[in-house]
Amino acid sequence: MRTASTLSLALLAGAMLGLAQPTLAQTTAAKLIAPQSEIAFVSKQMGVPVEGTFKKFDAKVAFDPRKPEAGSIAFTVDTASATLGVPETDAELPRPEWFGTVKFPQATFQSSSIKALGGGKFEVAGKLDIKGMVRAVVVPVTLTQSGATSTATGAFAIKRLDFNIGGGEWNDTSLVANDVQVKFKLALTGLGPL
């Protein structure tokens, strides 16, 4: 049985959190600590929230918290790694109606600007590419630091149909909501102090 909400969420999360390769400005490159990081997506199927995650993703971060405007952030998400935790539903996610992983194996995000908002909060604008559909997004990010580890967290919403996720019978937003929330926690080493 296909789970439209699950598929939609996985695709949207992948798209939003998928990042492309950044242009390294004159800032130090940070390293992603994958085991401490996560990218999740939440959608509603027939009104019930469904959460999924991506198991494989990478981030390229060249960022100085004291000079954010010179930084660059890029994400790449392996869309075939999307999971809702239900084998039957997970088998549907790679299909063309959803992520179409044969033709579109990755979703990416590439920043175009980073703005400091104060108190460890930043606004990252950029382009999100899912299934060849590119949309401008603005992502709020909160950065905290503990020892040598910096943790970037945030969430943003996308419309799954803007990325052609959930085609055919799944276009019906009463079955699977159009709105998908992408949530992330990225643990990084190598960033300068706030």
Interval 116-161: pLDDT, tens: 999 999 999 999 999 999 999 999 999 999 999 999 999 999 999 9
Residue 113 in this model has a pLDDT that exceeds 80: yes
Beta bridge partners of 134: 129
Assess contact for 16 and 182: CB atoms under 8 A.
yes
User: Cα separation of 88 and 171, whole Å?
Assistant: 20
Per-residue burial over 42-75, b if 16 or more Cβ lie within 10 Å, else e, is bbbbeeeebbbbbeebbbbbbbbbeebeebbbbb
Instruction: Determine how many CB atoms are found less than 10 A away from the CB of residue 89.
Output: 23
* Predicted pLDDT of residue 165: 96
Q: Are strands 57-62 and 72-78 parallel, antiparallel or unpaired?
A: antiparallel
CA angle (42 as vertex; 6, 13 as ends), nearest 5: 85
* Res. 27 pLDDT band, cuts 50 70 90: low
User: Cα separation of 32 and 187, whole Å?
Assistant: 6
When pLDDT is averaged across residues 160-166 and rounded to a whole number, the result is: 96
When pLDDT is averaged across residues 55-66 and rounded to a whole number, the result is: 94
User: Is CATH 2.40.50.140 the right assignment for the domain spanning 4-189?
Assistant: no
Place of tokens 């789970």: 3
Beta strands in the chain (DSSP E): 29-32, 38-45, 48-54, 57-62, 72-78, 82-83, 106-118, 121-130, 133-146, 149-159, 179-189
Residue 3 in this model has a pLDDT that exceeds 70: no
* Predicted pLDDT of residue 151: 97
